[in-house]
Amino acid sequence: MKTNLYSRSKFLLKLILIPMLMVISTSHGNNVNYIIIDVRTIEEWRTGHLKDAKHLPLDILEDQVKNLVINPQETVYIYCRSGNRSGMAKQIMNRLGYQHAKNLGSLTEASQFLRKPIQK
């Protein structure tokens, strides 16, 4: 009786935990509830950028971000060459009311974090 109960409990835990772990492990790669912004120059953008990223250079971000990110509650991932400009972009977006802006640092770091390929 105890063995049967133990086996059932173990099975139920697997039924619950495995799908939860799968969601957690793929939450960035497949989740479409975010926007990716590359704040580098057009020349840098042309050398390669993340798949699905939008190009919005830092020098026009403050004036144009509202056209790209309509919902200020949406998560926005920002990257640049080193993380410096994306840090400034995050500060600008926070000041404009976008509290879910995240500085991912460089293109490579963003690619790894989001599990997105770099494309030309």
pLDDT one-digit tens code per residue, 58-84: 999 999 999 999 999 999 999 999 999
So where are the chain's domains? 1-26, 32-119
Residues 6 or more apart whose CB falls under 8 angstroms from that of 97 comprise: 72
What CATH code would you report for 32-119? 3.40.250.10
Structure confidence at residue 86 (pLDDT): 98
- Mean confidence (pLDDT) of the chain: 85
- Over 90: is that where the pLDDT of 7 sits? no
How does DSSP assign the chain, residue by residue? -HHHHHHHHHHHHHHHHHHHHHHHHTTTTS--SEEEEE-S-HHHHHH-EETT-EE--HHHHHHHHHHH---TTSEEEEEESSSHHHHHHHHHHHHTT-TTEEEEEEHHHHHHHHT--EE-
In this predicted structure, the answer to whether residue 24 has a pLDDT above a threshold of 80 is no
